[in-house]
Amino acid sequence: MPDSPAPAQPGTSRSTSATIPPNILRCLIPVTEEYGVDLWPELNRVGLDEAMMCSAALRVSYRQGGAVIRRALELTGDAHLGLRVGAAQHLTSWGLLGFAQMAAGTLWEAVETGVRFQNLSGAMVVWSAGPEEAGYALRAELPDPALDPAVAVFLAEEAFAGVVALTRLNSGEGFAPQSVEFAFPAPRDTGPFTELFRCPVRFGAAGNRLVLPTAWAGRPMPGRDPVTYTAVVEILEEQAASRRNQQDLLEVLEISIAQSLPDVPSFVEQARRHASSERTLRRRLAECGTTYEAVVDGVRRERVEQLLRRPELTLRDIARQAGFSDVRALRRAVHRWHGVAPARLRGPAA
């Protein structure tokens, strides 16, 4: 069964927690450099530096990833940057998961393995797969229906372009999907899509869907090795279990903070609630690549963004409900998050 991310709990959002390996951002950096764009200032703006990006333990949030992707789209001016980033990936881009897929018996088993351990791949879409009348279908759903439309297009493009690029590296350059469908409207120029996928491409579909030809799905992988595959999958299972525990911890903390606002439980109180010592809780958060202060900041940010959409609330109301000492503290936080004043986020009517 696919090891899909757990749905968001009431009062929180998956976008806040830093739980995603930053593989897409790592691939994005050299691609944007080809456009003469330095992405490091944008990475620094969301709290990521070069040392952190070189760490295998680093995890980022959907919010961080989405913000960097949005700016990369703006700075490069390439509306279909996702195709370039996906096509530029290599077999090592997915770490041990990529190695397991190389050792899988068939392309079908490789895809099933990718779906099963998608939480370890750095995916920013939710994968599912299964046989259909047309062939073996791979689907990519967006994690949040309210996602920025440009970022949503990027993620769908990157997802399928990456699958095709890695399959060609793994199984042979002659690979082409039977068909590809995207949920977003057709762009003015569909040439880059047909050139990359080498198959019929449909836009404005009900969802993002790629169909593998049956002949390819059952084809033996060139690097198949059942012993190696089993050994690597055992490691992936251990990592996935640890990852679920980390994500559960972050979601529980987020719910606790969100339900307590405008008051914020102290770190000592959170440790007591989780029957943990402060030292143990701090260590567990460090293993998640975050701190209690960062989790609080993420929940407050999400609450402020929700409240700013309500025109009947004053900035004083929002500051009070989000747990800020005054409007000035709210303004400073919004400027740190977005680089603009709260009124800019509320629109012309503010």
Distance, first Cα to last Cα, the chain: 48
Q: Of 149, 25, 144, 159, whose CA–CA distance to 79 is shortest?
A: 149
Sign of CA dihedral 167, 168, 174, 176: positive
Contact 294, 52 (CB under 8 A): no
- In degrees and rounded to multiples of 5, residue 201 shows phi and psi of -120, 125
Q: Is the pLDDT of residue 39 over 80?
A: yes
Residue 17 has what pLDDT?
Answer: 62
Mean of per-residue pLDDT scores for the chain: 87
Banded pLDDT at 18 (limits 50, 70, 90): low
Residue 16 has what pLDDT?
Answer: 55
- Tokens representing 255? 């719910």
What percentage of the chain exceeds 90 in pLDDT?
Answer: 52
What is the helix (H) or strand (E) element at residue 140, kind and residue range? Answer: strand 135-141
Q: What is the pLDDT of residues 267-300, one digit of tens each?
A: 999 988 877 899 999 988 887 778 899 889 888 8
124/38 Cα distance (integer angstroms): 22
Please give the average per-residue pLDDT across 248-254, as a whole number. 82
Burial-class residue 161 by CB neighbours within 10 Å (0-12, 13-18, 19+): buried
DSSP structure class, residue 104: S
Please give the average per-residue pLDDT across 147-162, as a whole number. 92
What is the helix (H) or strand (E) element at residue 87, kind and residue range? Answer: helix 81-87
CB atoms within 10 A of CB 9: 14
Please give the average per-residue pLDDT across 62-70, as a whole number. 87
Residue 7 has what pLDDT?
Answer: 35
- How would you list the strands of the sheet with 135-141, edge to edge? 126-132, 135-141, 208-212, 179-181, 201-202
Out of 3-12, 122-131, 247-256, 329-338, which region has the weakest mean confidence (pLDDT)?
Answer: 3-12
Exposure letters 88-99 (e unless 16+ CB within 10 A, then b): bbeeebbbbbbb
Q: Is the pLDDT of residue 205 over 50?
A: yes
Q: Of 94, 109, 29, 99, whose CA–CA distance to 56 is shortest?
A: 94
Exposure letters 107-140 (e unless 16+ CB within 10 A, then b): bbbbbbbbbbbbbbbbbbbbbebeeeeebbbbbb
What is the helix (H) or strand (E) element at residue 128, kind and residue range? Answer: strand 126-132
Banded pLDDT at 13 (limits 50, 70, 90): very low
Q: Of 323, 321, 319, whose CA–CA distance to 342 is shortest?
A: 319
